[in-house]
Amino acid sequence: MLQLKLKQASRKKRLTDVWSQPQQGSSTPWKQQRIAPRNWNLTQHLYKLNAEQLHQELWLLLLICVLAGSAPLAVFPRCSSRVHAAVQHVWLLALYIWLCCAAYLELADGSQDRNNLERNFYIFESVTYLIHIPCIMILSMRWKRRIAGVFQAIGEFDLACGYIVDRRRIRRFVRHQLWLLLILASCCIPIVLSHRDYEMCKSLVNLSTYVLPNILSSISFVLYYALLQGIRLRLHRLARALQVELQRGPLTRRAELQQLRGQHTQLLHFTKRVNQTFGVSVLLLYVSSLINFNTNLFLVYKAIEKPGKADWPWLAYTILWLLMHTGKMFFILYFNHNVQQLQTHCAALLSKVSAAGEDLLETINHFALQLQGNVRAHVACGLFELDYKLIPALLMTTANLFIFLLQYDITFQALARAMNITAF
């Protein structure tokens, strides 16, 4: 129903825009002055409708993000007061204190059969989570005054380019991402219960130390994926409009190409702002996931080396952890790569144009240069590019870290034997 209203309102806006254009020889400027405020009010109303529709489709995800500390409570217009902000701050502080207490209880538990090397690995893994989670919370609180402007900007862009939000596609995408998190949690809970001999308190502490921080960080990245997916869908619509316009051949309109180029500039700028906003979180995720992936891989290697002493619930838990860290690192590259692929497709469409007027050819060349130019829109903290080209570097880093852990283990065992000999 809301989409139908938007289409009708867009049609009315186009009609009033035509009526409000000045006619040659017209001597009625007072009519234009009367129509202009009405057009401006209609445009603002359309912007608001578009922004509200997008907000409604992301309502469930935004609510989960608020509870997880990945979005400010001000994302809901009725909850933008200082009292609501204070309530969220208290909730997030209590949540983080619980994570710290759970990590301390888990690592101080002497009933677990762990050697010093494994204990050091788990301490480091817990510390990386305790650093990452407050960074997500602090960064989300910083943009509480700009969140309304983000929805307004998206609504304005959608109205300008004629993009109608696909409600089913948004809901399906968010639902699939949340289902992945639910499946991860559902797999972890029975494994942890089995590993902890079905002791509820110890299982709860273990889940709060390792599983809960990963769920919280993954929720923040669901919002990141949703933003990149929205950029990809709008860029796909722009690519189709560009293809249709270029198929006109000699009748290709320069003004239409200029408009599409302007829309691409806005999408590129928005992509850059999204990656800048999540840049610190992306960097921390890659650092923690790389190190934790390698430590868990090393522990799996040690368990396979001695299969008779292997703890199979713990081994299944560790393998699940390897899959989770791999998926988190891959999905970031996947959604950024999809956006870049559409830009490459648009550049390929423009490169096929040969016969055109001088003015039109100049516009096409400028558009092609804009598509091919490296404006560092897909860069995390200015350190590395978020594309599949990063995968070889990640594999090389993984190999080096694994070799380092092997050497560390050999040295650690040699020192332990030397200390035992001197003790006797």
Q: What percent of the chain has pLDDT over 90?
A: 6
pLDDT of residue 17: 40
Is there a contact between 20 and 36 (Cβ–Cβ < 8 Å)?
yes
Q: Write the pLDDT tens digit of every residue in 96-154.
A: 999 999 988 888 875 566 667 778 788 888 888 899 899 888 888 877 667 767 777 77
Q: Transcribe 174-242 into DSSP letters.
A: HHHHHHHHHHHHHHHHHHHHHHTTT-HHHHHHHIIIIIHHHHHHHHHHHHHHHHHHHHHHHHHHHHHHH
In a domain? residue 113: yes
Distance of CA 15 to the CA centre of its chain: 39
What are the tokens at 271?
Answer: 């992509």
In terms of pLDDT, which residue wins out, 408 or 332? 332
**Residue 141 placed within a domain:** yes
Q: Are 203 and 193 in contact (CB under 8 A)?
A: yes
Question: Largest Cα–Cα distance of the chain, in whole Å?
Answer: 109
Q: Is residue 23 part of a domain?
A: no
Helix-helix angle 29-57:59-68, to 10 degrees: 60
72 falls within a domain = yes
In a domain, 185, yes or no: yes
Q: What is the pLDDT of residue 386?
A: 84
pLDDT in tens, 377-414: 777 777 788 888 888 888 888 888 888 888 877 776 77
According to the model, what pLDDT value does residue 46 have? 56
Average pLDDT, integer, range 40-53:
58
* pLDDT higher than 80, residue 163: no
Q: pLDDT at position 74, please?
A: 80
Query: Residue 27: what pLDDT?
Result: 42
397 inside domain: yes
Counted domains in the chain: 1
Segment (H or E) for 44 = helix 29-57
Most confident of 10-24, 204-218, 257-271, 401-415: 204-218
335 pLDDT above the threshold of 80: yes
Q: Is residue 328 part of a domain?
A: yes
Using alpha carbons, select from 78, 81, 97 the residue that is nearest to residue 137. Answer: 97
- Structural domain range at position 383: 43-413
pLDDT in tens, 193-246: 887 777 888 888 888 888 899 999 999 899 899 889 888 888 888 888 888 888
Residue 277 lies in a domain: yes
